Amino acid sequence: MIQELTNNYENLFEKELLEEINQVGTFKEIPEGFELIKPGSYIKSMPLIISGAIKVLREDDDGDELLLYFLERGDTCAMTLSCCLGHQKSEIKAIAETDAKLIMIPIEKMEEWTSKYKSWRNFVFDSYHKRLIEAIETIDSIAFLNMDDRLLKYLKDKTKINQTKIINSTHQQIAYDLHTSRVVISRLLKKLERGNKVKLNRNNIEIIHI
């Protein structure tokens, strides 16, 4: 595990901190679609992402979802940090967007390292800042963008995260992420196809130019 840590976090953390993470961290490989965090659950460890991507969603009382942001290699989740440090139940859902490798850090070490290592403290504050900006962008897109623009932004984010122009999400899955109906998403995708921006295949969406 130390090699995975060094490859991803050597420029962020001191050697001593990397060694501690190697000692107390739990390495996990999770498949695409795996639900890492459930709403209402207590979080006992924090993920450091080694590879792959995780999508973080907010779920309402009816089970409808809204995509907040994606986490990539070298990231962690500010909302996870907040729940861990405050011993609060999770208010978000985290699902593997792709196959992913994680190192889970016990919550008792998080507070200890915040005072012990400057690099860890900076990492935590930087994560809060990044996730806050992404959450604000999500709010802005809902408040100021029409669904056409929100869908385009979503498709761009998906191609960036997955590093491929083939999107294997169903129309219904996209609708869940954008908190709208499948009918609306299907209509907008057809419109994009007529404009030669995407190609709708039976099991995927191919990005041509967006």
Most confident of 77-81, 85-89, 136-140: 136-140
Residue 2 pLDDT > 70: no
Q: Give me the pLDDT at residue 139, please.
A: 84
Q: Specify the pTM.
A: 0.75
- Per the prediction, the chain carries an average pLDDT of 87
Q: Give me the pLDDT at residue 84, please.
A: 64
- DSSP secondary structure letters along the chain: -HHHHHHHHTTTS-HHHHHHHHHH-EEEEE-TT-EEE-TTPBP-EEEEEEES-EEEEEE-TTS-EEEEEEE-TT---HHHHHHHHHT-B--SEEEESS-EEEEEEEHHHHHHHHHH-HHHHHHHHHHHHHHHHHHHHHHHHHHHS-HHHHHHHHHHHHHHHHTSSEE---HHHHHHHHTS-HHHHHHHHHHHHHTTSEEE-SS-EEE---
pLDDT, one tens digit per residue, over 25-82 is: 999 999 999 998 888 888 888 889 999 999 998 887 777 788 888 898 888 876 677 6
